[in-house]
């Protein structure tokens, strides 16, 4: 069935590139807002196979049987639960084009409500490509690895991307329906993976992985929630803690864990709370990208559950507030947790707020952060003897009064990755500007000291801690 469905999709040019050409950016942007009106207008009265594939699989419109039959064998699709066949044919799931760096693929998920009131999802609802899942895909370093674990695969979107650079993939989920639809996603997209049913790390207790990726059901909701795609059944952010701490033993040496999710803001300092989740020996980079107050957070997820305008809305809202009060939750952080199993006795754990714009994909920049940790820990003598190279993406901004001899402010700024910016003085700017891989850092420091009329040893003492930070931030490489 999957092979014949793929053949039908390809024959209709129902691919990511084909649909983008047919609908245009305005209609695609409207679909991202869950509105199909612009796409329907773009198709007009067309009844060619590509238009009908868009109508059936993307816009949830019904088709006459004879036209739907051009897109696949209807008896097989009906037996697999993908369509319902009557006087008209309607899709029971969404099959949406989705591309990775190396392949044209498709994602099979439950229907996204379009152009209507909120719809309450079924308990085993399988979400398609969401902002969270597409962001996670951009956080994953693209270096070639042997084995990968897609923890909580859902519709299979992460495994589709992992197929570009991983030799073997294991995809797990607690929801049997998710595994059914992920099997279709991966089959249509030509990605081999082993699908296992179970919660968290239970299905893989016998294995370790070079890469683990997950966008778990992280919503901090009161007990009794039924939506498995977003509610993990743990108190507070216990599921996120279990995912991070539980990676001990599941990460191979130098293995990487990439997690996107939420955590509770309480009276305990964030650095202490989140660093306490990190397994021993693991370096960690934890970035809080956004912080919501309880009211913002609750309103987002009540709308997601389709409760707006229903009699359940206010009682659910009050129950959620009482739950947060009982746990001392004063806000919710949204962000990224990335670990590297470096096996260090004194690992590097960095927790920070980073709400600023980034240049996606940032996966390789995150990978470079961990690769640079060894260089940041070189002795002063070894660092001065090293030849450093400034990043190609690094630019310098100088601000000052018109006509002034020297700038008042100098900022080094990245145009890729996390797009970090660091204020520097003229001496550090001069050293960074000369870091082209030709001369050791110590020689550059001596030269700048001589030009500035400064003592070389004192200048080195001042600059080295800041050079280490520039290395950690990817502005310099050793």
Residue 124 lies in a domain: no
**Residue 404 pLDDT exceeds 70:** no
| 402 and 260 within one domain | no
**Residue 250 pLDDT exceeds 80:** yes
What average pLDDT is seen over the chain? 94
**Residue 401 pLDDT exceeds 80:** no
**Residue 473 pLDDT exceeds 80:** yes
pLDDT of residue 405: 63
Residue 23 lies in a domain: yes
pLDDT tens digit sequence for 190-220: 999 999 999 999 999 989 999 999 999 888 9
pLDDT of residue 403: 65
Residue 122 lies in a domain: no
Q: Is residue 433 within 8 Å of residue 396, measured between CB atoms? A: yes
Q: Is residue 181 within 8 Å of residue 128, measured between CB atoms? A: no
> How many structural domains does the chain have?
3
Query: Which one of 109, 141, 174 terminates a domain?
Result: 109
| 158 and 76 within one domain | no
Q: Residue 302 belongs to what domain range?
A: 131-371
| 423 and 300 within one domain | no
Mean pLDDT score, 430-452: 95
pLDDT tens digit sequence for 259-315: 999 999 999 999 999 999 999 999 999 999 999 999 999 999 999 888 898 999 999
Residue 115 lies in a domain: no
| 294 and 145 within one domain | yes
| 247 and 150 within one domain | yes
pLDDT of residue 373: 97
| 324 and 189 within one domain | yes
pLDDT tens digit sequence for 92-145: 999 999 988 888 899 999 999 898 777 788 889 999 999 999 999 999 999 999
Please report, rounded to a whole number, the percentage of residues in the chain having pLDDT higher than 70: 99
**Residue 233 pLDDT exceeds 90:** no
Mean pLDDT score, 344-369: 95
**Residue 400 pLDDT exceeds 80:** no
| 249 and 358 within one domain | yes
**Residue 336 pLDDT exceeds 90:** yes
CA separation for the pair 442, 387 (Å, rounded) = 9
Residue 125 lies in a domain: no
Residue 246 lies in a domain: yes
* Beta bridge partner(s), residue 52: none
| 146 and 73 within one domain | no
**Which residue, chain included where needed, has tokens 């930070």?**
469
Q: Is residue 424 within 8 Å of residue 449, measured between CB atoms? A: no
pLDDT of residue 170: 98
Residue 201 lies in a domain: yes
| 299 and 166 within one domain | yes
pLDDT tens digit sequence for 26-77: 999 999 999 999 999 999 999 999 999 999 999 999 999 999 998 888 989 9
Please report, rounded to a whole number, the percentage of residues in the chain having pLDDT higher than 90: 85
**Which residue, chain included where needed, has tokens 């690769």?**
371
| 431 and 413 within one domain | yes
Closest CA to 445 of 437, 458, 477: 458
Q: Which long-range contacts (CB under 8 A, 24 or more apart) does 464-470 make?
A: 464/380, 464/383, 464/384, 466/424, 466/428, 467/383, 467/388, 467/428, 467/431, 467/441, 468/376, 468/383, 469/376, 469/422, 470/412, 470/422, 470/432
Residue 258 lies in a domain: yes
CA separation for the pair 70, 397 (Å, rounded) = 59
């Amino acid at each position: 069935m999957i092979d014949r469905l793929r053949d039908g999709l390809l024959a209709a040019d129902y691919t990511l590139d084909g649909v983008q050409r047919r609908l245009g950016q305005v209609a695609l942007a409207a679909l991202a807002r869950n509105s199909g009106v612009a796409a329907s207008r773009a198709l007009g009265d067309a009844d060619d196979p590509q238009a009908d594939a868009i109508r059936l699989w993307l816009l949830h419109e019904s088709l006459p049987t004879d036209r739907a039959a051009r897109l696949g064998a209807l008896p097989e699709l009906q037996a697999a639960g993908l369509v319902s066949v009557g006087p008209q044919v309607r899709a029971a799931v969404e099959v949406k084009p989705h591309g990775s760096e190396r392949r044209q693929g498709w994602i099979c998920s439950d229907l996204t409500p379009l152009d209507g009131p909120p719809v309450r999802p079924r308990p085993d609802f399988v979400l398609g490509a969401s902002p969270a899942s597409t962001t996670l895909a951009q956080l994953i370093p693209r270096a070639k690895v042997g084995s990968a674990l897609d923890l909580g695969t859902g519709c299979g979107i992460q495994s589709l991307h992992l197929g570009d650079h991983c030799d073997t993939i294991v995809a797990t989920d607690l929801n049997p329906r998710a595994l059914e639809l992920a099997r279709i996603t991966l089959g249509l997209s030509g990605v081999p993976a082993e699908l296992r049913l179970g919660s968290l790390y239970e299905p893989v207790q016998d294995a370790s992985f070079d890469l683990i990726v997950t966008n778990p059901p992280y919503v901090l909701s009161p007990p009794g929630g039924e939506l498995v795609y977003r509610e993990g059944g743990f108190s507070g952010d216990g599921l996120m803690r279990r995912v991070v701490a539980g990676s001990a033993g599941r990460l191979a040496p130098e293995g990487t864990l990439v997690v996107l999710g939420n955590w509770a803001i309480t009276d305990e300092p964030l650095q202490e709370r989140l660093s306490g989740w990190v397994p021993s020996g693991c370096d960690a980079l934890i970035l809080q990208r956004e912080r919501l107050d309880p009211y913002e957070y609750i309103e987002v997820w009540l709308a997601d559950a389709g409760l707006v305008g229903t009699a359940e809305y206010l009682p659910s809202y009050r129950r959620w507030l009482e739950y947060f009060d009982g746990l001392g939750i004063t806000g919710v952080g949204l962000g990224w947790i990335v670990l590297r199993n470096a096996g260090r006795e004194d690992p590097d754990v960095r927790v920070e707020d980073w709400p600023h714009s980034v240049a996606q994909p940032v996966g390789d920049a995150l990978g470079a952060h961990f690769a640079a940790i060894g260089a940041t820990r070189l002795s002063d003598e070894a660092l001065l003897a090293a030849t450093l190279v400034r990043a190609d993406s690094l630019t310098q901004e100088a601000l000052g009064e018109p006509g002034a001899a020297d700038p008042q402010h100098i900022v080094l700024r990245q145009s890729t990755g996390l797009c970090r910016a660091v204020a520097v003085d003229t001496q550090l700017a001069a050293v960074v500007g000369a870091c082209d891989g030709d001369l050791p850092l110590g020689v550059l420091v001596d030269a700048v000291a001589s030009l500035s009329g400064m003592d070389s040893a004192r200048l080195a003492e001042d600059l080295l801690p800041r050079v280490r930070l520039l290395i950690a931030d990817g502005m310099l490489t050793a």
